[in-house]
Structure 1
């Protein structure tokens, strides 16, 4: 009897735990609490301080003229403290989501003011871009002078050409037999000597460096590579590896093979056979795209292919320019 009673009690406890239908109340209460909190937050977000809103509308009104651009205020009923509330109406014409222009509700005078402000902002940006491009072109000219000084010390200044384009400063090394053997991508001693002079000026620069390999337009078959693509890429990679071995950081370097798709001079020119067969070491600009587009015009004559100018030559040219400017200055005698 006692054992039977014990078993019934054990089954009764298991049965009560199994059929507990009141547990959903806990989840339901949690859900109601969360919903309550959500509505409180939404209500607090939608509770606009109408007095501050009216002050904003008044400020906009004084800025754009007699009437507000997007707000029209009128006095509403008294609030609990005895103060008149502001009823603010939103002008549908100023709604940016209705597909209409934001200036559709402006007067002609206000539209003219907006256009003048936009034009002034554009002029300001254009001036800032031009200033940045001019400064970058000046920096590139200094880099060119340093590289030219090192090349001149080794009597190699004539083996390199310079130009400034929207990418940055382009140092062109003509890959004649002194730099690379025909159809080969192994640097000759003369090529190493040129790169030894160029590398120190590039090591401490913040700019990334791109090396472009280029072949000429001759249709002769490449002996050791399937095509000019592989040959030009191999020469660019060889140059990159050499510069990395001489102090340039690996993560700053990029090797590009162009084959004969980017000739330096017109292929019909007899000089193109040697001039288009080259390696370009490009000191990439840090400017934005809009500013970089102004680099060629900011560089002036340096945007054209030219021989390197040493620091001494640049200083002498600056002195000559200063002397010419002084001689052209009008001198007026005052009583």
Structure 2
């Protein structure tokens, strides 16, 4: 569990929360909004750990050595509760049993009692209404932290009673430095990771710690550079190859999107310095020359549509085949 000082980027959010801790002006409820991998959980954990710390450093960060910090780091702190759920959604019973029925019990060893709800956007409407009653009149010692990919999925009445903090993309140079120091990546490899992750530190870390990622990138580049000359049988073979990596398909699709955005960027600017796949200048330049703007934009739209279909659990093979055929057309 990280301290505030260990968090890469998000300076405005850290400053807001650390000032609130130092001045004793904490809100009773926060929404931390950002895409998967953006660091929502890390921010929430650092906030909870620092609030509960028994000997804060300058009142703005956890010491990391006191009993409370050790308990927080091991997820055994009696006054930091994580709301869990077994199904695809967070039910009204999950909220009632783990939060509403527990919040009236005073903190065990701390001034505050903190509830963290990961995937708060998965709460059913009934669950949100149950939570709303608590957020409207919480005990003075309670702090509720909702983590969400889409704060618009929460009821307006909940949003209006929370302080909303939105995660920002992390600067590329900060990600590069972090990956070089933390994972001993070569500068060139760190640059590729920073380009790929588009400011998402979680994606960058996954890249750095994955032995399969380079192979995945090479598979994508092989397909994209040869797509126009491939026959239907070869395309089907590629689809089957992708089918063995269903859990990583969004990474495949993101790599494809970056490629075609490079093609579009180069077609518009002719500036090789703006390319994310800078070492593929020749192939990108060739595709930018022979494809028109509408064709490139249609391909990007096809990939985006595939991501939406897969998220909606549309048949995997059919979705990927339609996408690749649209790309080939």
User: Shorter-normalised TM-score: what interval?
Assistant: under 0.3
TM-score, scaled relative to structure 2: 0.18
Higher radius of gyration, 1 or 2: 1
Structure with greater proportional strand content: 1
Q: Which has the higher contact order (CA 8 A, sep 6+)?
A: 1
Q: Which has the higher helix share?
A: 2
Q: Calculate the TM-score normalised by the size of structure 1.
A: 0.18
